[in-house]
């Protein structure tokens, strides 16, 4: 017999993964910056830009696997809401004039 408290809500796996994406990005950024700092010669210009943007790219790539389930869950929820609105006759099969530019 389990008692559920009204204050605690169970957190889903996609939400936990989305929260864990930030530490994964920070670790990816730190590792990429350390590797580039040791590998590239000290200098101005292109080296400085590489030291800024390449670790950001690596951090973004580290976040993607963690964010995909969260975005997928939101897309499925929105698609279900759209199907429900369409099923109850909320919209016609033909898009309205204002919606054609989307």
Under 8 Å between Cβ of 60 and 25? yes
Residue 93 lies in a domain: no
Residue 8 lies in a domain: no
Residue 94 lies in a domain: no
Residue 1 lies in a domain: no
Residue 99 lies in a domain: no
Q: What is the pTM of this model?
A: 0.69
Q: How many domains does the chain have?
A: 1
Helix runs in 5-102, H state only? 13-39, 46-87
Residue 23 lies in domain: 13-86
**pLDDT tens for each residue of the chain, 102 residues long:** 455 656 778 888 988 999 999 999 999 999 999 999 998 887 777 888 888 899 999 999 999 999 999 999 999 999 999 999 988 875 555 555 555 555
Contacts of 14 (CB under 8 A, 6+ apart): 69, 70, 72, 73
């Amino acid at each position: 017999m389990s008692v559920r408290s009204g204050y605690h809500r169970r957190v889903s796996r996609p939400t936990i993964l989305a929260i864990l994406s930030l530490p994964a990005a920070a670790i990816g950024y730190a590792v990429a910056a350390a590797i580039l700092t040791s590998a590239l010669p000290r200098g101005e210009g292109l080296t400085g830009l590489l030291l800024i943007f390449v670790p950001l790219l690596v951090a973004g790539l580290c976040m993607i696997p963690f964010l995909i389930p969260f975005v997928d869950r939101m897309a499925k929820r929105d698609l279900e809401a759209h199907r429900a609105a369409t099923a109850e006759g909320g919209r016609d099969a033909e898009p309205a004039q204002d919606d054609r530019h989307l």
